[in-house]
Structure 1
Amino acid sequence: MDWTDLIDTAFKVAGNSNRANQAEAVRTVEAAVIDGEEPVASTAGRHPDHFRKGVLVLTTHRLLFLKDGKPPVPVPLAAVTDTTVTRTKFNGEVLTVVALTGSHRFEEVVKAEVFAEQLRAAARIARTARPQAPAPSDAAPGEQLLDQLERLAALRTSGALTEEEFSRAKQRLIG
């Protein structure tokens, strides 16, 4: 499946047949693709700040929310610590994604449980196959190390990393 097929399918599910919006979404995503990033899955959903549905695109590296040709809101999969689906009377199936970068909520998600399972699996793979590179920072090297150790501890506490994975990652950081 390529980017165009993935986004077209999600737009159809969202009930948005505007070809210009679909083409703009494809261009936006293709311009922001990371080396080696491949499409995995997509669905339709609504961000609480928006009236109309947008598109949730899952890649091998990130979760993206696309709406009306605006820049995508990326959530790096290696930072995802929890994904849940709840059902409410007014907002339908609600997908909540908790990551080290913040919490993200999407409402009226089509086939939310299936998409959440795909997201959980992709996040697991991203955490084990692609160790997160240190973020560039103006902080002193000691502060950077402390920040990275705190992130690892948060991943371990959330259950995203086993004790063994935590120890190996900590050893790589400390040297």
Structure 2
Amino acid sequence: MSIALLIVDMQQAYDEIKKCHESINDALEYINEASKLFREADKPVILIQDEEAGEGPDSEGYKLMDQLVVKDTDYRISKVYNSAFWKTGLDELLKQLEVEFLVVSGFAAEYCVLFTYNGAMERGYNASLLQHGVADYNPGQAKETQYLRPVVSIETLTYILKKV
């Protein structure tokens, strides 16, 4: 089994929304820890960026958040729609990497994160949300989204990534 981490829309445009700061900062701690584990296990970390963040791909808002740990070995996918699968090369990349299981994290819980999670399931991938690794405009929504979907903890990922 191959496994990959998807980090959805952790971009400067969303970090600038004041009411999201606490939710984003909390999620970033877990996302950065998970991405470290994936990189140490030589498993893919895939950064998803929304072209509508800011004023398009050339804008400051499109750039990834400064607090997000990013490496040159990470893959990048640009998207226009809520689902990172819709009209992008994500599915092809995952097939090329022989990924079967996805850990989905990022912003915003009930929009792009959920649509990407659903897109993974529709395409036959096994998927879970990263526990505490999902942010939202409303922190309560991030928690509710995680209550209704399978989640995987940092502790469990530590174990799994040693085995695959």
TM-score, structure 1 normalization: 0.24
Larger radius of gyration between Structure 1 and Structure 2:
1
TM-score, structure 2 normalization: 0.26
- Of structures 1 and 2, the one scoring higher in RCO (CA 8 A, sep 6+) is 2
